[in-house]
Amino acid sequence: MAVGVGDPAPDFTLPSSGGGEVSLSSYRGRPVVLAFYPADDSPVCTTQLRSYDDDLAEFEGLDAAVLGISPQSVESHDRFAERHGLRFPLLADADKAVGEAYGVLGPVGFYRRSVFVVDGEGVIRYAHRAIAGLRYRPASELVAAVKQAKG
Protein backbone atom coordinates (compact mmCIF):
# COMPACT_ATOMS: atom_id res chain seq x y z
CA MET A 1 0.00 0.00 0.00
CA ALA A 2 1.44 3.36 -1.06
CA VAL A 3 1.91 6.13 1.49
CA GLY A 4 -0.43 9.10 1.28
CA VAL A 5 -1.62 12.23 3.03
CA GLY A 6 -1.57 11.81 6.79
CA ASP A 7 1.00 9.00 6.76
CA PRO A 8 4.49 9.33 8.23
CA ALA A 9 6.96 10.02 5.43
CA PRO A 10 9.38 7.11 5.02
CA ASP A 11 12.81 8.31 6.10
CA PHE A 12 15.80 7.84 3.82
CA THR A 13 19.43 8.75 3.35
CA LEU A 14 20.67 9.14 -0.22
CA PRO A 15 23.82 10.41 -1.92
CA SER A 16 23.41 13.98 -3.15
CA SER A 17 24.61 16.18 -5.96
CA GLY A 18 27.48 18.31 -4.77
CA GLY A 19 28.78 15.50 -2.56
CA GLY A 20 27.67 14.04 0.73
CA GLU A 21 24.40 12.46 1.72
CA VAL A 22 21.00 13.84 2.59
CA SER A 23 18.55 12.35 5.09
CA LEU A 24 14.91 13.36 5.18
CA SER A 25 15.04 13.30 8.99
CA SER A 26 17.71 16.03 8.98
CA TYR A 27 14.98 18.46 7.82
CA ARG A 28 12.73 17.76 10.82
CA GLY A 29 11.18 21.02 11.94
CA ARG A 30 10.80 22.36 8.39
CA PRO A 31 8.61 21.40 5.45
CA VAL A 32 10.19 19.48 2.59
CA VAL A 33 9.08 19.15 -1.02
CA LEU A 34 10.09 15.78 -2.48
CA ALA A 35 10.06 15.93 -6.28
CA PHE A 36 10.46 12.44 -7.75
CA TYR A 37 11.31 12.68 -11.45
CA PRO A 38 12.07 10.02 -14.09
CA ALA A 39 15.38 11.18 -15.59
CA ASP A 40 18.03 13.88 -15.74
CA ASP A 41 18.01 15.93 -18.93
CA SER A 42 14.66 14.68 -20.23
CA PRO A 43 12.59 17.58 -21.61
CA VAL A 44 9.72 17.53 -19.07
CA CYS A 45 11.99 16.85 -16.09
CA THR A 46 14.27 19.71 -17.08
CA THR A 47 11.33 22.12 -17.40
CA GLN A 48 9.86 20.92 -14.10
CA LEU A 49 13.01 21.23 -12.02
CA ARG A 50 13.98 24.56 -13.58
CA SER A 51 10.53 25.92 -12.68
CA TYR A 52 10.99 24.81 -9.06
CA ASP A 53 14.44 26.41 -9.04
CA ASP A 54 12.99 29.63 -10.49
CA ASP A 55 10.64 29.79 -7.49
CA LEU A 56 13.17 28.56 -4.93
CA ALA A 57 13.04 31.90 -3.05
CA GLU A 58 9.31 31.34 -2.39
CA PHE A 59 10.02 27.92 -0.87
CA GLU A 60 12.95 29.28 1.14
CA GLY A 61 10.78 32.18 2.34
CA LEU A 62 8.58 29.51 3.96
CA ASP A 63 11.67 27.76 5.38
CA ALA A 64 10.91 24.81 3.08
CA ALA A 65 13.51 22.63 1.41
CA VAL A 66 13.17 21.22 -2.10
CA LEU A 67 14.76 17.86 -2.93
CA GLY A 68 14.81 16.26 -6.38
CA ILE A 69 14.99 12.45 -6.42
CA SER A 70 15.62 10.13 -9.36
CA PRO A 71 17.45 6.88 -10.03
CA GLN A 72 20.40 8.40 -11.93
CA SER A 73 23.88 8.57 -10.43
CA VAL A 74 25.29 11.51 -8.47
CA GLU A 75 27.62 12.17 -11.42
CA SER A 76 24.62 12.48 -13.74
CA HIS A 77 22.89 14.75 -11.21
CA ASP A 78 25.98 16.96 -10.90
CA ARG A 79 26.15 17.43 -14.69
CA PHE A 80 22.40 18.07 -14.90
CA ALA A 81 22.42 20.59 -12.02
CA GLU A 82 25.42 22.44 -13.43
CA ARG A 83 24.03 22.52 -16.98
CA HIS A 84 20.73 24.03 -15.83
CA GLY A 85 21.83 26.01 -12.76
CA LEU A 86 19.76 23.98 -10.30
CA ARG A 87 20.45 25.08 -6.73
CA PHE A 88 18.64 22.44 -4.69
CA PRO A 89 19.97 18.92 -4.00
CA LEU A 90 19.35 16.11 -6.48
CA LEU A 91 19.40 12.73 -4.75
CA ALA A 92 20.43 9.44 -6.34
CA ASP A 93 18.01 6.58 -5.62
CA ALA A 94 20.00 4.08 -7.69
CA ASP A 95 18.29 0.97 -6.30
CA LYS A 96 14.87 2.70 -6.38
CA ALA A 97 14.20 1.72 -2.76
CA VAL A 98 12.98 5.22 -1.86
CA GLY A 99 10.81 5.35 -4.98
CA GLU A 100 9.32 2.02 -3.94
CA ALA A 101 8.72 3.22 -0.37
CA TYR A 102 6.78 6.22 -1.71
CA GLY A 103 4.89 4.19 -4.31
CA VAL A 104 6.18 6.09 -7.34
CA LEU A 105 7.43 3.17 -9.43
CA GLY A 106 5.44 2.45 -12.57
CA PRO A 107 4.65 -1.04 -13.91
CA VAL A 108 8.05 -1.50 -15.57
CA GLY A 109 10.06 0.03 -12.73
CA PHE A 110 10.38 3.60 -14.04
CA TYR A 111 9.72 6.52 -11.72
CA ARG A 112 6.34 8.20 -12.12
CA ARG A 113 6.59 11.97 -11.85
CA SER A 114 5.42 12.49 -8.26
CA VAL A 115 5.56 15.19 -5.60
CA PHE A 116 5.08 15.05 -1.85
CA VAL A 117 5.06 17.80 0.76
CA VAL A 118 6.23 16.61 4.18
CA ASP A 119 5.54 18.83 7.19
CA GLY A 120 8.02 19.64 9.94
CA GLU A 121 6.83 16.66 11.98
CA GLY A 122 7.58 14.21 9.15
CA VAL A 123 3.96 13.69 8.06
CA ILE A 124 2.92 13.73 4.39
CA ARG A 125 0.54 16.67 3.84
CA TYR A 126 0.35 16.62 0.02
CA ALA A 127 0.83 13.77 -2.44
CA HIS A 128 0.53 13.65 -6.21
CA ARG A 129 1.55 10.71 -8.41
CA ALA A 130 1.22 11.22 -12.16
CA ILE A 131 -0.10 8.38 -14.27
CA ALA A 132 1.51 9.81 -17.42
CA GLY A 133 4.68 11.83 -17.01
CA LEU A 134 4.04 14.60 -19.52
CA ARG A 135 2.82 17.17 -16.98
CA TYR A 136 4.05 18.27 -13.58
CA ARG A 137 2.62 20.09 -10.60
CA PRO A 138 3.36 23.82 -10.79
CA ALA A 139 5.51 25.48 -8.14
CA SER A 140 2.59 27.73 -7.13
CA GLU A 141 0.54 24.64 -6.17
CA LEU A 142 3.43 23.28 -4.12
CA VAL A 143 4.02 26.64 -2.39
CA ALA A 144 0.32 26.63 -1.43
CA ALA A 145 0.69 23.05 -0.12
CA VAL A 146 3.70 24.09 1.96
CA LYS A 147 1.73 27.02 3.42
CA GLN A 148 -1.11 24.67 4.31
CA ALA A 149 1.33 22.15 5.84
CA LYS A 150 2.73 24.87 8.07
CA GLY A 151 -0.79 25.60 9.35
pLDDT score for 1: 65
Specify if 144 maps to a domain. yes
- Span 93-118, mean pLDDT? 93
**Residue 11 placed within a domain:** no
- Whether 111 has a pLDDT exceeding 70, the answer reads yes
Residue 133: is its pLDDT beyond 70?
Answer: no
Is position 5 within any domain? Answer: no
| CB neighbour class for 11 (10 Å; exposed up to 12, middle 13-18, buried from 19) | middle
Q: Tell me what pLDDT residue 138 has.
A: 77
| Within-domain flag for 23 | no
Indicate whether 1 belongs to any domain: no
Reference 98, options 121, 75, 67; nearest CA is 67
**Does the residue 58 lie in any domain?**
yes
> Within a 10 A sphere around the Cβ of 150, how many other Cβ atoms?
15
For residue 20, tell me if it sits in a domain. no
pLDDT digits (tens, 9 = 90+) for 32-81: 999 999 999 988 889 999 999 999 999 999 999 999 999 999 999 999 99
- pLDDT, position 132: 67
- Nearest alpha-carbon partner for 88 in 66, 57, 121: 66
Residue 109, domain extent: 29-150
* Residue 139, pLDDT above cutoff 90: no
Of 100, 148, 93, which is closest to residue 120 (Cα–Cα)?
A: 148
Distances (CA, A) of 18 to 75, 103, 115: 9, 27, 22
Residue 117's pLDDT is: 96
pTM: 0.94
Task: Select the more confidently predicted residue: 132 or 91.
Answer: 91
What residues form DSSP beta bridges with 14?
22
What residues are labeled active site? 45
Q: What is the pLDDT of residue 108?
A: 85
Three-class DSSP category at 138? coil
Supply φ then ψ for residue 140, to 5 degrees. Answer: -60, -40
In a domain, 14, yes or no: no
| CATH number for 113 | 3.40.30.10
Q: What total number of domains does the chain contain?
A: 1
